[in-house]
Amino acid sequence: MTTVSKAAAQFAYDSYRTLDEQTLHARIESARRELGSELLILGHHYQQDQVIQHSDLRGDSYQLSKMAAASEQCRAIVFCGVHFMAETADILANRPDKLGLRGGQRVDVILPDRSAGCSMADMASIEEVHAAWDELGEVIDTGDVTPVTYINSGAALKAFCGRHGGIICTSSNAESVLRWALDQTRRVLFFPDQHLGRNTALRMGIPNEQMPVWDPYADELGGHDQATLQQSRIILWQGHCSVHQVFSAEHVHHWRERIPDIRILVHPECCQAVNDLADVSGSTGKIIQTIEQAPAGSKWAIGTELHLVNRLKHEHPDLEIHFLTPLICTCATMSRIDLPHLCWSLENLVAGTPVNVVRVDDDTAKWSLVALQRMLDVS
């Protein structure tokens, strides 16, 4: 179980909502100076510019947690991201060997707004996964199924994988992880994002016919008959990223018709129709690296979160960069982390009354680490 502490705060949040942006920036920087090297502010790539400018580290969720956990001075992490990211940071920063080095002192992991969640992660609850596992056991041998969860999932699902011989993947190592999993067992149960699982497996030569999508709300067997599940190689969970789900094949065709020499760059959380048409498909890190290495004057349409695309456009004026869809497509839950919440959480930390401290219970953290270690061994 993960808890989010609601300590009585010396400073009430409401008073921060009326502060102007200049004042908030100044007070955030003042708090950072006072906390010094014991504080790390982590900024996910999808964050708003006015928030991420205060981060000590920026990156993908797992990369950020790993870097923060490696710090010897850090005693508090303020994660400008979403809930599952803060859980991962707590698991890594407070694992037994790290606690031993600090004499048992925990690193507080703070989520500035505890309502900053992830719609994809919420599409697979631990109760639903347990129910699916039990149902699958009625028609196939679950001893011949490896559960694989995307890093974009709750700690309880990571622990489920740890307990059942499973593993965690990121968007950059999904293929290596799936190959490992299929070496262990005939089948994989992949959750919560069906698109990452499908696009990765298709590159490995597994056809859609062997990848049924499990609907947790179906009356029985995820909406399939027994024969379909018995013939499966990868059982995909019916989940998706609300941001990447917006991109369509029509958007790709639009840009190719408008700018014939444009290159299409997308995240593998996009649907198969988009992924198949793209010139490059890869993790957020790969998207950034591709743009950094692109020749001057080249033209790109990028299918990922809008804040990141706009930041890349600003940082690379020698390139022509477009957003793949004409729709405004930001991560709404990520945007809950704003300057007032960041300032409020930092000043309470300075005052010794930390708010929104995310802590994963010891048993869940233990089994999550087992699944994470398998991923590290494979990668």
The pLDDT value recorded for residue 61 is 84
How far, in Å, CA of 167 to CA of 15, rounded? 44
Q: Give the Cβ contact number of residue 12 at 10 Å.
A: 10
**Where does the pLDDT of residue 235 fall: very low under 50, low under 70, confident under 90, or very high at 90 and above?**
very high
Q: Give the Cβ contact number of residue 6 at 10 Å.
A: 10
Is 198 found in the same domain as 85?
no
How far, in Å, CA of 3 to CA of 18, rounded? 29
Is 268 found in the same domain as 208?
no
Q: How many domains does the chain have?
A: 3
Q: How much of the chain, in percent, has pLDDT values that exceed 70? A: 97
**Where does the pLDDT of residue 56 fall: very low under 50, low under 70, confident under 90, or very high at 90 and above?**
very high
For the stretch 114-148, pLDDT in tens is: 999 899 999 999 999 999 999 999 999 999 999 99
The answer to whether residue 26 scores a pLDDT higher than 70 is yes
Could you tell me if 97 and 128 are in contact, meaning their C-beta atoms sit under 8 angstroms apart? no
Is 137 found in the same domain as 67?
no
Host domain of residue 142: 120-241
Mean pLDDT of all residues in 251-263: 97
The pLDDT value recorded for residue 2 is 67
**Where does the pLDDT of residue 9 fall: very low under 50, low under 70, confident under 90, or very high at 90 and above?**
very low
How far, in Å, CA of 93 to CA of 95, rounded? 6
- Residue 42: is it exposed, middle or buried by C-beta count within 10 angstroms (0-12/13-18/19+)? buried
**Where does the pLDDT of residue 5 fall: very low under 50, low under 70, confident under 90, or very high at 90 and above?**
low
**Where does the pLDDT of residue 12 fall: very low under 50, low under 70, confident under 90, or very high at 90 and above?**
confident
Length of the chain: 379
The answer to whether residue 20 scores a pLDDT higher than 70 is yes
For the stretch 315-374, pLDDT in tens is: 999 999 999 998 877 787 788 899 999 999 999 999 999 999 999 999 999 999 999 999
Is 86 found in the same domain as 20?
yes
Residue 376 forms part of a structural domain: no
Is 139 found in the same domain as 52?
no
Is 111 found in the same domain as 134?
no
Domain boundary among 241, 268, 301: 241
Beta strands in the chain (DSSP E): 2-4, 39-44, 57-59, 76-80, 108-110, 145-150, 167-169, 187-191, 213-214, 234-237, 263-266, 280-281, 299-303, 320-323, 358-360
| Mean of the per-residue pLDDT values of the chain | 94
Plot region of 149 (φ>0 → left; ψ -120 to 50 → alpha; else → beta): beta
For the stretch 341-350, pLDDT in tens is: 999 999 999 9
Domain boundary among 295, 323, 351: 323
Q: How, if at all, do strands 39-44 and 57-59 pair?
A: parallel
Is 96 found in the same domain as 7?
yes
